């Protein structure tokens, strides 16, 4: 790693990788991953990417309309229009990078259906679409001489210095270093780990949102949290997702009496948008007094299921469930964040030269509830837009960052145990599918006490401390928004 780069990208999910690949090769770029380069929400994406690739039975207007309906019409129409109109070209671009979407026997790309989509428009690589995209983007990244990628590099502090940024990084969990960059792109993904149960991996602690907040960037709609209705109902914190595509391919939702119940809540039945289905499950659980819910796809052909959903088949088998003959136990859990660091259509934050892309950003495309398979698309479209905007600024001759080193001291007291667990329990209790406003107010006071303690105690800078600070900051912003509604 050098001391100075033109562009620093924090995160190696689809947002960070695609931004890096879209920058001119004349720029020096550093891409950092907190842990391994493939531990990310992107790598877990199952369903696919939504895009209108042909107009035979679909149109941009239909995709826009589906996005607005799912988002409760709280979306930014300009951003949605950009997403839908520019998305198909990004999908074609990643195919040039080698991404292999499933094909029909005649060679055309297969398209699947998910909740809230009025047409089959989701392209996929079996049920491991994200891993396929990340793999091919990383391969392309490693071919680029201008890009350096470093894993196990946690950015714990970001400061504005003359004409750019200084990022303080913990390498391998223990060694502090600083790098300087003219531009910084935050692509740090979601906040799932602020909840007791989530589909997100361990890196999803909202670090980028905290770093932007500390720099004074505007954060918007952080309380727009998405709960996926059908995560595998197991004992682990990280819940295995049963993609919406399973319902798209005909799975029924059943209550504890093994009865379909969605007809009581929405005429779109199992294919209603995620927030509607999650809410229906919680209301139904109150009615039946049971948290036992199931997906039933046993009526589909066994070979078809194993071939179409190999990841879900294998993942469920590990838990003792054979999806070709057993009901799959499911329950809602935290899945995605619609709000985030507020950005313009060029992915600019309110802080000069600071950009945000992907799940940590708020472009406004998702409104109150993301339409399935629109987020990888958002990371691609707005990642490329960030790169283009940075290239424009560079061409306009913006000044270079001044490199001025400072001694980094990461020593201090060890973090007391239990802080992260306390935050997770608070959000799970007070701000799940149907919020409990009184409990949210109490939790806000509790989280503010934790934040004060984290800021005022002289704690050692460790990954645990940094993540606790991020989780507390994120919980504070969410609960404050709820309190002010």
Whichever of 379 and 482 has its CB closer to ligand FAD, that residue is 379
The yes or no reply on residue 115 touching ligand FAD (CB under 6 A) is no
Q: Which stretch binds ligand FAD (CB under 6 A): 59-67, 203-211, 213-221, 295-303?
A: 203-211
Cβ(389)–Cβ(158) under 8 Å?
Answer: no
- Judged by CB under 6 A, the residue of 358, 419, 426, 459 near ligand FAD is 358
| For ligand FAD, the closer CB: 39 or 91 | 39
> Which one of the listed residues 121, 193, 274, 420 is annotated catalytic?
274
Nearer to ligand FAD, 203 or 478 (CB): 203
User: Cβ of residue 485: shortest distance to ligand FAD, in angstroms?
Assistant: 25
In this chain, which of 22, 152, 373, 473 binds ligand FAD, going by CB under 6 A?
373
Structure tokens at 272: 């209603």
Considering only 71-79, 287-295, 354-362, 398-406, which stretch makes contact with ligand FAD by CB under 6 A? 354-362
Closest-CA residue to 427 (of 480, 365, 466): 480
Minimum distance of ligand FAD from residue 117's CB (angstroms) = 12
Report the distance separating Cα 21 and Cα 139, nearest Å: 11
Q: Which of 280, 279, 222 is nearest to 483 (CA)?
A: 222
- The smaller minimum CB distance to ligand FAD, of residues 93 and 441, is found at 93
CB of 389 to ligand FAD, least distance (A): 17
Fill in the per-residue mask, 118 to 147: x = in contact with ligand FAD (CB under 6 A), - = not in contact.
-----------xx-----------------
Beta-carbon-side half-sphere exposure of residue 114 (alpha carbons within 13 Å): 29
Instruction: Return the percent helix, strand and coil in the chain, to nearest 5.
Output: 40, 20, 40
What is the DSSP track for 374-421?
-HHHHHHHHHHHHHHHHHHHHHTTPPPPPP---------BPPPTTHHH
Which is closer to ligand FAD, CB of 200 or CB of 255?
A: 200
C-beta closer to ligand FAD: residue 42 or 430: 42
The residue from 28, 200, 233, 363 that contacts ligand FAD (CB under 6 A) is 200
Minimum CB distance to ligand FAD, residue 407 (Å)? 21
Only one of the segments 152-160, 345-353, 394-402, 427-435 lies at the binding site for ligand FAD (rule: CB under 6 A); that segment is 152-160
User: What is the distance between the alpha carbons of residues 470 and 461, in angstroms, rounded to a whole number?
Assistant: 13
Burial of residue 258 (CB within 10 Å: 0-12, 13-18, 19+) is: exposed
- SS3 label, residue 259: coil
* 187 forms part of the interface with ligand FAD (CB under 6 A): yes
Q: Is 237 a catalytic residue?
A: no
Answer for which of 30, 203, 323, 426 binds ligand FAD (CB under 6 A) is: 203
- Going by C-alpha positions, the residue among 236, 247, 224, 245 that lies closest to residue 199 is 236
Minimum CB–partner distance for residue 194 and ligand FAD (Å) = 13
Residues in Cβ contact with 42 at an 8 Å cutoff, skipping those fewer than 6 apart? 13, 14, 15, 17, 130, 133, 134, 189, 358, 376, 379
Match 């960037």 to its residue by tokens. Answer: 217
C-beta closer to ligand FAD: residue 155 or 444? 155
* Binding of ligand FAD by 354 (CB under 6 A): no
Least distance to ligand FAD, CB of residue 256, Å? 25
Residue 285 to residue 332: CA distance in whole angstroms: 11
Alpha-carbon distance values, 272 to 156, 199, 265 (Å): 40, 20, 9
Residue pair 381/141 in contact by the 8 Å Cβ criterion: no
* CA of residue 34 relative to chain centroid, distance: 15
By CB under 6 A, name the one of 67, 188, 430, 462 that touches ligand FAD.
Answer: 188
Give the count of residues interacting with ligand FAD (CB under 6 A): 46
What distance in Å separates the CA atoms of residue 444 and residue 288, rounded to the nearest whole number?
31
Which lies closer to ligand FAD via its Cβ, residue 124 or residue 279? 124
Residue 245 CB, shortest distance to ligand FAD, in Å, is 8
5-64 binders of ligand FAD (CB under 6 A): 10-16, 32-35, 39-42, 44-49
**Is 415 exposed, middle or buried, given 0-12, 13-18 or 19+ CB atoms closer than 10 A?**
buried
**Nearest by Cα to 18 from 106, 125, 109, 99:** 99
Catalytic residue list: 274
Interface residue list for ligand FAD (CB under 6 A): 10-16, 32-35, 39-42, 44-49, 129-130, 153-155, 187-190, 199-200, 203-204, 207-208, 241, 336, 358-360, 373-376, 379
């Amino acid at each position: 790693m050098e001391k100075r780069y033109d562009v620093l990208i924090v995160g190696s999910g689809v947002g960070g990788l695609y931004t890096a690949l879209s920058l001119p090769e004349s720029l020096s770029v550093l891409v950092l991953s907190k842990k391994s380069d493939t531990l990310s929400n992107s790598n877990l994406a199952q369903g696919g990417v939504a895009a209108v690739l042909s107009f035979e039975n679909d149109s941009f207007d239909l995709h826009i309309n589906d996005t607005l309906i799912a988002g409760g019409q709280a979306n930014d129409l300009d951003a949605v229009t950009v997403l839908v109109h520019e998305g198909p070209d990004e999908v074609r671009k990643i195919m040039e990078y080698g991404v292999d979407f499933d094909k029909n026997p005649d060679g055309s790309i297969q398209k699947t259906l998910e909740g809230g989509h009025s047409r089959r428009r989701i392209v996929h690589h079996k049920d491991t679409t994200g891993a396929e995209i990340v793999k091919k983007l990383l391969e392309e990244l490693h071919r680029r001489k201008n890009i350096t990628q470093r894993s196990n590099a946690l950015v714990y502090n970001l400061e504005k210095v003359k004409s750019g940024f200084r990022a303080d990084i913990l390498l391998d969990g223990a060694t502090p270093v600083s790098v300087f960059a003219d531009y910084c792109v935050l692509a740090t993904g979601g906040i799932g780990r602020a909840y007791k149960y989530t589909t997100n991996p361990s890196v999803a602690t909202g670090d980028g949102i905290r770093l932007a907040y500390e720099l004074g960037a505007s954060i918007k709609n952080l309380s727009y949290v998405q709960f996926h209705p059908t995560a595998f109902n197991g004992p682990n914190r990280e819940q295995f997702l049963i993609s919406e595509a399973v319902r798209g391919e005909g799975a029924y939702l059943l209550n504890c009496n093994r009865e379909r119940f969605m007809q009581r809540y929405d005429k779109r039945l199992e294919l209603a948008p995620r927030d509607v289905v999650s809410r229906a499950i919680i209301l139904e659980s109150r009615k039946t007094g049971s948290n036992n819910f199931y997906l039933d796809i046993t009526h589909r052909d066994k070979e078809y299921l194993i071939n179409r959903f190999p990841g879900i088949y294998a993942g469920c088998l590990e838990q003792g469930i054979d999806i070709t003959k057993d009901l799959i136990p499911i329950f809602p859990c935290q899945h995605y964040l619609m709000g985030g660091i507020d950005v313009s259509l060029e992915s600019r934050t309110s802080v000069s030269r600071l950009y945000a892309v992907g799940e940590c950003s708020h472009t406004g495309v998702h409104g109150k509830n993301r339409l399935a398979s629109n987020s990888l698309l958002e990371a691609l479209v707005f990642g490329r837009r960030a790169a283009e905007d940075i290239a424009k600024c560079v061409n306009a001759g913006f000044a270079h960052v001044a490199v001025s080193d400072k001694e980094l001291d990461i020593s201090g007291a060890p973090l007391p145990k239990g802080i992260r667990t306390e935050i997770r329990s608070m959000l799970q209790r007070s701000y799940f599918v149907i919020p409990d406003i009184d409990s949210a107010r109490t939790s806000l006071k509790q989280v503010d006490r934790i934040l004060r303690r984290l800021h005022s105690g002289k704690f050692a800078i460790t990954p645990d401390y940094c993540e606790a600070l991020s989780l507390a900051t994120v919980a504070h912003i969410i609960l404050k928004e709820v309190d002010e509604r």
